[in-house]
Amino acid sequence: MKKTIYTLLFTFFALSAFAQEQAIYSQYQLFPVLVNAGHTGFDNQHQFLGNVRSSWAGFPGAPQSYTFLYTGPVGERLALGGGMFSETIGSQRLFRLQANYAFRFQLQKMRVGIGLTTEFLRRSIESDLLDNPIINPGDPILEDLADGQQLFDASLGIHALYDDRFFISLALPNTVRARLDQVPLADEGPSGRLFEHYFFQLGYIVDVPSQGFKIVPSIALRNLRNVPYQVDINLQGRFLDEKLITGLIYRPGSANGSSAFLIGSKFNQIQACYSYELNFGNFQQYTGGSHEITVALAFDRKQKVVLPE
């Protein structure tokens, strides 16, 4: 039975997983720039970020992803960033280079960031997949994918924080999408909807400065290309001036749902976080869950010194 499941999922990885392009993170509530370009330079800091995620640990061909990102302010309103993303799923290889641009401004008690991400994406499969007996020989799509598919993609994002308490975030991935090759794929047809994919988050920061902690409840709605629709119910706690950070995520769903626990810390300019995610379905017995680690280094932007006349 287990061998049959391995074979079926291997086939799924090889033939359909290359349709997924957007990375899935559990720690976006701590590092919103992972999913929304509108948060680029939002806190007026230069930030270097590294993220590693291992989904379905211990299962053959399970997804492994790596993200490296820099973002920072340029002047009072403009912010820029850049990074790379690499993911392996079964025999698929996905690589993205991205550049972030954001415009930040203040509206009375509200800080707003509006951002754009442009990406070059390349996805391919290992050539030895064509020799696998469960693959139809001479498949033209797989043969072309062995040479790699290339795309250009642009995404919009907006992030707003009111009175340092209420925040709202909306990202629109795949806003502009263009093929850079002629590899035919079944999922590339027009949908007829301009903003078909989105990532929306709404939350509130309950600050208790006398006790030195914050509680951050939030909800996120995620509808990404070729990824099942997801709802995240988040609860985060920040204690001892963020020297201890904990959080819970619950994702209800048709497959019995899933849950994630995260723990992290912030010391001076360094922030680190680890999360563990498990699925409530029967598939969980075949894996060790999903693990994610993020380490970020942040520096405040130097203010210009105005000399007296």
Does residue 309 belong to any structural domain of this protein?
no
Does residue 9 belong to any structural domain of this protein?
yes
Say how many domains are in the chain: 1
Q: Provide the b/e sequence for 14-42 (b: ≥16 CB within 10 Å).
A: bbebbebbbbbbbbbbbbbbbbbbbbbbb
Cα 262 → chain centroid: 16
pLDDT at 67: 96
Does residue 192 belong to any structural domain of this protein?
no
Local structure of 282: helix, strand or coil: helix
10-residue averages of pLDDT along the chain (309 residues) = 47 47 83 95 95 88 92 94 92 91 95 96 74 62 69 94 96 87 57 75 92 93 84 94 92 81 93 93 81 95 54
Cα 153 → chain centroid: 15
In angstroms, rounded to a whole number, what is the distance separating the alpha carbons of residues 287 and 279? 9
pLDDT at 8: 45
Does residue 38 belong to any structural domain of this protein?
yes
Does residue 305 belong to any structural domain of this protein?
no
pLDDT at 7: 45
CB neighbour list of residue 260: distance below 8 Å, 6 or more residues apart: 26, 248, 249, 251, 275, 276, 277, 278, 290
Domain that holds residue 13: 2-187+198-300
Does residue 33 belong to any structural domain of this protein?
yes
Which CATH number fits the domain that encloses residue 101? Answer: 2.40.160.40
Specify whether the CB–CB gap between 49 and 68 falls below 8 A: yes
Does residue 193 belong to any structural domain of this protein?
no
Does residue 308 belong to any structural domain of this protein?
no
Element (H, E) at 234: strand 230-239
